[in-house]
Amino acid sequence: MKTETPSVKIVAITADEAGQRIDNFLRTQLKGVPKSMIYRILRKGEVRVNKKRIKPEYKLEAGDEVRIPPVRVAEREEEAVSPHLQKVAALADVILYEDDHILVLNKPSGTAVHGGSGLSFGVIEGLRALRPEARFLELVHRLDRDTSGVLLVAKKRSALRSLHEQLREKGCKKITWRWCAVSGSRM
Residues serving a catalytic function are 144
Please, what is the end-to-end C-alpha distance for the chain in angstroms?
58
Rounded CA-CA distance 53/45 in Å is 5
Our CA dihedral for 17, 22, 26, 27, rounded to 10 degrees, sits at -90
Please report which residue ranges of 95-168 form alpha helices under DSSP H.
123-130, 157-168
Rounded CA-CA distance 180/49 in Å is 55
* Cβ atoms of residues 105 and 98 within 8 Å: no
Q: Per DSSP, which regions of 78-171 are E strands?
A: 95-98, 102-107, 138-139, 149-154
* Cβ atoms of residues 120 and 66 within 8 Å: no
